Amino acid sequence: MHLLLQSIQNKKIGIVTNAPYIYAEPLLKHHGIRYDALISYEKNQKNKPYPDPLFRCAQHMNVHIEHCIYVGNEPTDIAAAKAAGCTSVAYANTYSEVEQLLVYMPHLIIKNFSDLQYTLTEEKHMQKIARECFEQALEEKQKGNSWGYFRYLNEASDHGHGLAQYYLAKVLRKNPHLLYEGKNIRDLLYGAVMKMIPEAVFELGQLFEQENKWEKAKHFYRVAAHMDYAPAQYFFAKMKLRTPFSRMKLHIAHHWLKMCSEKTGKAIPLLNQVEKIVQFENDLKQHFYYDKGNENFFICNYLSNEKYEDEYSMRILGVKGRKQADIAYFSERISPLVSDEIVICCFPSSDHRNILTGIRKIAQFIAQEKGIDGTDCLVRWKSREKSSYGGERNIQSHVQTMKVFQREKIVGKHVLLLDDVTTSGSSLRAGEQLLLEAGALYVTKLALGKTK
């Protein structure tokens, strides 16, 4: 820190902290940290993440806020800087911290004070060299000189050019024999990410997806999508659709696919599929009830106590008893809403021997009229105690006793998953999880009744 301060003696230094003055001032004095203004926590004022203390600090130093760089290691620092309109620099010691702060999209991320010194004192000169090396690399590539391209990329990368670091990482991934001591693909990508290069953020997402680190991949795709990078918008939308138990995922995916389709035609086929799913679920909402908490549709309430012998509950009991009239009743209510592209699946009985259930007959009836018969896809291979008889209602108890067969029927398709009665929603969510893991594009969950 002292080396940094010596190198920027011609610049004003303001300190904004959420710590109280009686703590901050003696600490700075003890360590010999010079400053021109100190704005500390004030009880009756707006503190970070509000921009107000940054405005007060700039005013104390008599400088325009847009000429300021604000450095911090917390999300509140990034939020305050961006709200104030100054350059936001995030400080992160580890890749884990980089990932945490990246989502707030600062202008730059640094890992030590040398990086900050470079940004403040040598930026223009070094950037010129880096830019010239990078332009030379592109010229060599155009000439077909792969060795010259590699050499100049190396130089530009060593001078801190973010795009050069990204391109060099791509070259080294395809040609690992070119790796030498001191070069690491992941370090190069993170270096480019810290300079907020969207292509590098996306590339890291792909790297994590290949390693089956889905949550990390999704994190990087989401950030690159917000950076307006079309491939990331497409991949994030696809990954979002296939994420079980993710609220509003259909509408989020639809949003990003629309954004992506404005830049590339690649997204249009998937966007068309998603728009059909959105329309289908909107139609369901017009005709049936929607449980927002579990994101399930249901046709009516189900009163399990026999003293409440309402018409719908009796019809559901009729389906459980495989009565043809009740099976036809519900089939005819659902069938007009279904399109030919939808795969109709049904939730299996808790008893693995009980295959020809009433809900399966409804699914088969609908598939004869419209849609694709997927009633053999979700199968119970091991019996479990019924939830209504005291069996566990958690998702895992279902997942461990079911499998997906005939995957080719559901891969990349919209699935309508039917069940007779839902209570906690765990059974339908378990079915959704398994179908998505098997390759389904999206699962709409519909029960005949919801226990009241």
Instruction: State residue 387's pLDDT score.
Output: 63
* Domains of the chain, each with CATH number or no CATH: 2-91 (3.40.50.1000), 122-269 (1.25.40.10), 288-451 (3.40.50)
Instruction: State residue 177's pLDDT score.
Output: 84
- Which of 136-150, 178-192, 399-413 is predicted least confidently? 178-192
- Under the banding of pLDDT at 50, 70 and 90, the label for residue 53 is very high
What is the average pLDDT score of the chain? Answer: 91
305 versus 104: the higher-pLDDT residue is: 104
- Pairing label, strands 378-380, 87-91: unpaired
- Under the banding of pLDDT at 50, 70 and 90, the label for residue 305 is low
Instruction: State residue 397's pLDDT score.
Output: 84
Three-state secondary-structure class, residue 281: helix
In contact, 359 and 448? CB cutoff 8 Å: yes
Q: 345-382: per-residue pLDDT in tens?
A: 999 998 888 999 999 999 999 999 889 999 999 999 98
284 residue type, one letter: L
In contact, 368 and 340? CB cutoff 8 Å: no
- Under the banding of pLDDT at 50, 70 and 90, the label for residue 184 is confident
DSSP secondary-structure letter at 305? Answer: S
- Under the banding of pLDDT at 50, 70 and 90, the label for residue 123 is low
Q: 212-259: per-residue pLDDT in tens?
A: 999 999 999 999 999 999 999 999 999 999 888 888 899 999 999 999
Model confidence, pTM: 0.85
Give me the mean pLDDT over the 311-331 stretch: 92
Give me the residues paired with residue 289 across strands.
298
